[in-house]
Amino acid sequence: MVITLSVIKADVGGYVGHASMHPDLMDEGERHCASAKQEGLLIDYKVMRCGDDLELIMTHEQGVDNDHIHKMAWETFEDCADVARKLKLYGAGQDLIADAFSGNVRGMGPGLAEMEIEERPSEPVIVFMADKTSAGAWNQPLYKMFSDPFNTSGLVIAPGMHEGFSFEVQDVVDHKKITFNSPEEIYDLLMFIGAPSRYTVKAVYSRNTGQVAAVSSTERLSLIAGKYVGKDDPVCIVRCQGAFPAVGEVLEPFAMPQLVEGWMRGSHHGPLMPTCFAKCNPSRFDGPPRVIAAGFQLADGKLVGPLDMFDDPSFDMTREWANQIGEYLRRHGPFEPHRLSLHELEYTTMPAIMAKLQERWQSM
Ligand code: F6R
Ligand code: MG
Ligand code: MG
């Protein structure tokens, strides 16, 4: 059976501040998705949240970039934003940058990851959702999952994975894309994806079967809006087992709390902390950045799950480590490298301060 898995997300209002989500927004999301399922547009859905981001996880037979699915998601976000406005939640409608829906949510504010797949006899997938960080945060984990034999022993041991994977990389500034083959082109690949604020891994494909293995959201809110309007808080879908890395190999990169951009005002580097669903409420200095992992088995498009994959004491050490890194970085206060570099702050407060002080700078 060919099905499409779509994850479309937006921050439509925070509770309290940018920390978490009010249950009424989830209820509104549930109401919309339930009626779309009843109408036959969706096969199944799960309404989730990561920090202050509303996540619509949907299965259907309409393919990717389908205007009916995107319209349904957009209208859901709009109505959730109305609920947020009534409760005077913080930043109601924050990510809905466009005024009206125009056929596709891409470029309108929400983030999205979609894949059309032939469902295997057993189809385990993991949906990763992050808060207080940017598109590009998946570069390092995806590289480790699909290219690093120290992370994924299957690359060496499993015949179905031995041919490696190919990476579709997007240049989000110049709107170009390129595909690299792993393992033979990993040095070229790393040259680009090691700079995740510009080059993001959009998708990964099996070179053995040609099947899509992973898809991520690459929308950069600041580039869409031309100014700082909150962080992208990206999502990523990864297929597991068989010709793909095992569930444990897909989760393993997150045992290292990599430094990502985001955190307070989207303007700081901080460790990406994996948490269980319930503990994904970034509060210390609006962070540190979080990631949750929802595991599903697909059954004729039905989403059997989610299993809360980071609800496991074996990630306790990672969380402790992330807290130590976070504490160390916090002591730097407004100094780099805790604060992002000037170049990366060009869409935030820097232009206004520069403009204000322009007259006072003297040549020397
Ligand atoms: C980061 C984030 C928060 C806000 C901060 C200021 O992604 O959402 O750290 O940037 O709380 O929020 P505003 O500017 O809305 O007062
Ligand atoms: Mg927010
Ligand atoms: Mg958020």
Question: What's the CA gap between 25 and 10, in Å, rounded?
Answer: 12
CA of 49 to the centre of ligand 3 (A): 9
Q: How far apart are CA 294 and CA 304, in angstroms?
A: 11
The tokens describing 205, both together, are: 């494909």
Q: Are residues 193 and 258 in the same domain?
A: yes
- Among 143, 199, 228, 347, the active-site one is 228
Can 279 be counted among the known catalytic residues? no
Tokens standing for 161?
């994975």
> Quick one: 99 and 140 in the same domain?
no
228 included as an active-site residue: yes
Final residue of a domain: which of 87, 118, 149? 118
Q: How far apart are CA 333 and CA 331, in angstroms?
A: 5
If asked whether residues 278 and 313 sit together in one domain, one would say yes
Q: Which helix (H) or strand (E) holds 246?
A: none
111 and 243 share one domain = no
The structure's pTM equals: 0.97
State whether 13 and 157 are in the same domain.
no
Cross-strand bridge partners of residue 296: 125
Q: H-type helices in 20-109, by residue range?
A: 23-38, 67-86
- How many CB atoms lie under 10 A from the CB of residue 349? 11
What tens digit of pLDDT does each residue of 107-165 get? 899 999 999 999 999 999 999 999 999 999 999 999 999 999 999 999 999 999 999 99
Q: Do 272 and 177 have their domain in common?
A: yes
**CATH code assigned at 79:** 3.30.70
| Pair type for strands 123-131 and 44-50 | unpaired
What would the mean pLDDT of 35-60 be, rounded to a whole number?
98
Quote the ligand 1 centre to 17 CA distance (angstroms). 8
pLDDT for position 221: 83
202 is catalytic: no
pLDDT band at 45 (very low <50, low <70, confident <90, very high): very high
pLDDT category of residue 342 using cuts at 50, 70 and 90: confident
The whole-number pLDDT of residue 347 equals 67
Domain containing residue 15: 1-118
CA of 112 to the centre of ligand 2 (A): 17
Count the alpha carbons within 13 Å of 337 in the hemisphere toward its beta carbon: 8
Res. 350: pLDDT tops 90: no
193 and 114, same domain (yes or no): no
| Band of residue 187 on the pLDDT scale cut at 50, 70, 90 | very high
Q: Which pLDDT band holds residue 229 (cuts at 50, 70, 90)? A: confident
Tell me which ligand sits closest to the C-alpha of residue 262: 1
Per-residue tokens: 118: 């032939």
3-class SS of residue 34? helix
User: Rounded to the nearest 5 degrees, what angle is found at the Cα of 224, between the Cα atoms of 7 and 89?
Assistant: 65
Same domain? For 183 and 46 the reply is no
Q: How many angstroms separate the CA atoms of 8 and 235, rounded?
A: 8
194 and 300 co-located in one domain: yes
Asked if 143 contacts 189 with a C-beta cutoff of 8 angstroms, the reply is: yes
Q: Which of 16, 88, 90, 264 to mutate to test the pocket of ligand 1 (most atoms within 8 A of CB)?
A: 264
160 within domain boundaries: yes
User: Is residue 330 one of the residues assigned to a domain?
Assistant: yes
Tell me, yes or no, whether 41 and 95 share the same domain: yes
Token pair, residue 93, equals: 């409608």
Of 275-284, 297-306, 335-344, the range with the lowest mean pLDDT is: 335-344
